[in-house]
Amino acid sequence: MAYKSSGTSDLPGFFADLVRCETRLYNALNDRLRERHGIVTSQFEFLRHLRDHPGSRVADLAAEFAVGVGATSKSVDRLEKQGWVVRQHNPSDRRSSLLALTDEGLMLVDAADRTFTERLAELIGDTLDGAPMSTAAQTLSKLRSVLERDQIGMPTG
């Protein structure tokens, strides 16, 4: 842990710990999802979002994951090419399409969701069990809400 014990916050240390934890968790989940389901974490997260938010558009995915619309569209193209996602006519906006999972995409994300959850529980284990997990989850949720509310860190293109 990279924090000072003198009572003053070491924000750079906090940032380093936060980012390194995220990177290591993401990579470990990526490896397990690739091994078991032939997908990577970013694909899983898009598929899970589409499952849980039917009728999403590319712009909705881009906003949720703080990724540019162009990069998101290319990622959706790859999911579509695999047969996991289809673009459907948007009756309220002819300029955009609604995204939907195919039956194969739904089966994939449901299976991958179990793998993802099991692996995440293995990785976190007893480190954040009970009250520490609740505190960490509340803190990160609050930080995320403020960043999203203030549109901080959103790509410009």
pLDDT bin (cut points 50, 70, 90) of residue 123 is very high
As a whole number of angstroms, the distance between CA 39 and CA 75 comes to: 12
In this model, does residue 7 exceed pLDDT 60?
A: no
Contact (Cβ atoms closer than 8 angstroms) between residue 89 and residue 98: yes
pLDDT bin (cut points 50, 70, 90) of residue 83 is very high
In this model, does residue 4 exceed pLDDT 60?
A: no
User: What share of the chain has pLDDT > 90, as a percent?
Assistant: 66
Q: In sequence order, what DSSP letters do the residues of 107-119 get, joined into one string? A: HHHHHHHHHHHHH
The region of weakest confidence among 27-41, 83-97, 104-118, 137-151 is: 137-151
As a whole number of angstroms, the distance between CA 26 and CA 38 comes to: 15
* pTM recorded for the entire structure: 0.85
User: pLDDT: is 94 or 21 the higher one?
Assistant: 21
